[in-house]
Amino acid sequence: MKIYTAHARAHPGAGAVLVPERFSWLAAVFGPLWLFAGRAWIAGVLALCAEVALAALLPGGAAAVALAALHWLLGLQGQDVRRWSLERRGFTEVHVIAARDEEDALARLFDRRPDLIRPTLGLEMGA
């Protein structure tokens, strides 16, 4: 079983976002680009500045080790950074869900919160 947190905005008609509780290989490999793709702008800029500073201030071998450590840290904490970014954008955690995969997690969320079905799936209200 995998653990997901579901986040939604307080106002009606807002969809939900699922965030898995796991190591993110994409964050570890792509670093700030992964953060930018997830709309975590502040964290992405900070990570990019950290990469530039490490590369500029440390000698070759030490810079490579420090950059690898930074990317490993992003892999470990990337999903938490996404949760923080969602919170800054007005989302609140509405449920913690244990499920086999994301599809099952969405089904369990919709079972508990049917009001989130239409906005999350992008269906028009009243259709």
How do residues 43-91 score in pLDDT, each as one tens digit?
999 999 999 999 999 998 999 999 999 999 999 999 999 999 999 988 9
**Exposed/middle/buried for 84, CB within 10 Å: 0-12, 13-18, 19+?**
middle
Extents of the domains making up the chain: 2-121
Model confidence over 101-122: pLDDT tens digits? 999 999 999 999 888 888 888 7
4 with 99: CB under 8 angstroms?
yes
pLDDT of amino acid 46: 96
Give the pTM. 0.81
Partners of 66 in the beta sheet? none
